[in-house]
Amino acid sequence: MSTSPQNSYPPAVPPVHPVPARGSVRGKPASSVTMLPVRPDWEARVAKVSLDNISLSYSTTSGERLVALENINLEVKAGEFVCIVGPSGCGKSTLLHLIAGLHQQSSGRVLVEGKPVNGPGTDRILIFQELGLFPWLKVGQNVEFGMKMKNVPKGEREEKIQHYLRLVHLSKFRDSYIHQLSGGMRQRVALARALAAEPDVLLMDEPFAALDAQTRDLLHDELERIWAETGRTIIFVTHNVREAVRLGDRVALMTFRPGRVKKEFRISLPRPRHIEETEVAQTAKEILSCLREEINKSLDAEYNDGKRG
């Protein structure tokens, strides 16, 4: 990145994850995955996001009470990259919506730096799988949109547009429309727009699920680089266990409905990683063996619901 000091924008916390060269060791080389609470390098840090005994239930169209989330306790440290995996219907996306302040939990507390979340805020930005880019605006205007809503002065907006488009390697496409871009480039526009709002916490809901494998792998590299450079806290939901291992410092595994945190895994593989590496595949296999029971519960529930229908 070649921004001059006067045009650089400080992250919410100093970058805490310099990405070492391939082959260097980050964490303990003897074990690629450690089940928590062995987390000595995170213990000293203040929790950026805390989920304190979160539960969520709602009424179905048939009048039944459905418990979607139950007694979830999870802490995410400042600058940490946490991935959440689980079977379909376990409430992964719902959990992000609660952190973003888009929905209200039935009980418990969502805290950001110790303060309760009572609604949406610019300190938390959620990137949906659908992206939500405005097709009638050019790339630069999409990146600028959130800043205009916050009444950021024009000169500052201009500097930040240039800065964040450089960060995602899209400077040359500033005046392009969204329909002129590839799927991967659109993902990078969404990321630049989110980063331009300079949130403390970036929430990502399966952002790469619809991409082809080659584009996905490139965006994994881009996201890891940007995370290392900005020091943002990232909570990333995915169905893909290998993707979670590729990206995360930690993987939280959720149960089938009602969604609970079944286990947490600290990933100590060196960075940068690649999704096809043997160590990544082996670590993902360990986590998937714990997930398989929950997937079977999900399939059984779907089968039984179909028989009743």
Q: Is the per-residue pLDDT at 6 higher than 50?
A: no
Least Cα distance to 108 among 161, 63, 55 occurs for 55
Q: Is the dihedral of CA 164, 75, 126, 254 positive or negative?
A: positive
Q: Which of 70, 63, 64, 61 is nearest to 106 (CA)?
A: 70
- Please give the tally of structural domains in the chain: 2
As a whole number, mean pLDDT of residues 92-111 equals: 94
Phi, psi (rounded to 5 degrees) for 15: -55, 130
State the pairing for strand pair 115-116/107-112: antiparallel
Asked whether residue 268 falls in the same domain as residue 209, the answer is yes
pLDDT of residue 293: 87
Does residue 103 sit in the same domain as residue 41? yes
In a domain, 107, yes or no: yes
Tens of pLDDT along 249-304?
999 999 988 899 999 999 999 998 999 999 999 999 999 999 988 888 777 766 56
Query: Is 216 found in the same domain as 165?
Result: no
Q: Looking at the structure, do residues 213 and 260 belong to the same domain, yes or no?
A: yes
- Which pair of tokens denotes residue 178? 């969204």
* Boundary residue ending a domain (198, 228, 244): 198
- Residue 128, in any domain of the structure: no
Beta strands in the chain (DSSP E): 33-35, 47-59, 65-77, 81-85, 107-112, 115-116, 124-127, 201-205, 233-237, 250-254, 261-267
CB 54 within 8 A of CB 75: no
Task: Please tell me the distance from the alpha carbon of residue 147 to that of residue 306, in angstroms, as a whole number.
Answer: 47
The answer to whether position 13 is within a domain reads no
Residue 130 domain-assigned (yes or no): no
CATH number at 55 reads 3.40.50.300
Domain identity same for 110 and 32: yes
Q: Pick from 198, 222, 248: which residue ends a domain?
A: 198
Question: Does residue 1 register a pLDDT over 50?
Answer: no
Q: Report yes or no on 159 lying in a domain.
A: yes
pLDDT band at 60 (very low <50, low <70, confident <90, very high): confident
Q: What is the pLDDT of residues 197-244, one digit of tens each?
A: 888 999 999 988 888 888 888 889 989 988 998 899 999 999 999 999
pLDDT at position 162 over 90: yes
Q: Render 84-117 in DSSP notation, one character per residue.
A: EE--TTSSHHHHHHHHHTSS--SEEEEEETTEE-
Nearest to 191 by CA among 131, 107, 241, 103: 131
Parent domain of 270? 25-123+200-308
Residues 302 and 185 in one domain: no
Q: What angle do CA 42, 44, 49 make, to 5 degrees?
A: 65
